Amino acid sequence: MTSDVQNVAKALASISDHWQPRRLTSINNYDLKVVKIKGEFVWHTHPDTDELFMVLDGELTIQLRDRDVVLGPNDVFVVPRGVEHCPKAAAEVSALLIEPKGTVNTGDAGGDMTAELQELIL
Query: pLDDT tens across 51-106, in order?
Result: 999 999 999 999 999 999 999 999 999 999 999 999 999 999 999 999 999 887 87
Q: How far is CA 34 from the centre of its chain?
A: 7
Average pLDDT, the chain: 92
* Secondary structure percentages of the chain, helix, strand, coil, to 5: 5, 45, 50
The DSSP bridge partners found for residue 68 are: 63
Determine contact, residues 97/87, Cβ cutoff 8 Å: no
**What phi and psi, each to the nearest 5 degrees, are found at residue 50?**
-75, 165
CATH superfamily of 8-104: Jelly Rolls (2.60.120.10)
Specify the pLDDT at position 1.
Answer: 45
Q: What is the mean pLDDT of residues 39-51?
A: 94
The DSSP bridge partners found for residue 96 are: 34, 54
Specify the pLDDT at position 96.
Answer: 97
- Percent of the chain at pLDDT > 70 equals 97
Residue ranges of the domains in the chain?
Answer: 8-104
Q: What is the mean pLDDT of residues 38-63?
A: 96
- Percent of the chain at pLDDT > 90 equals 78
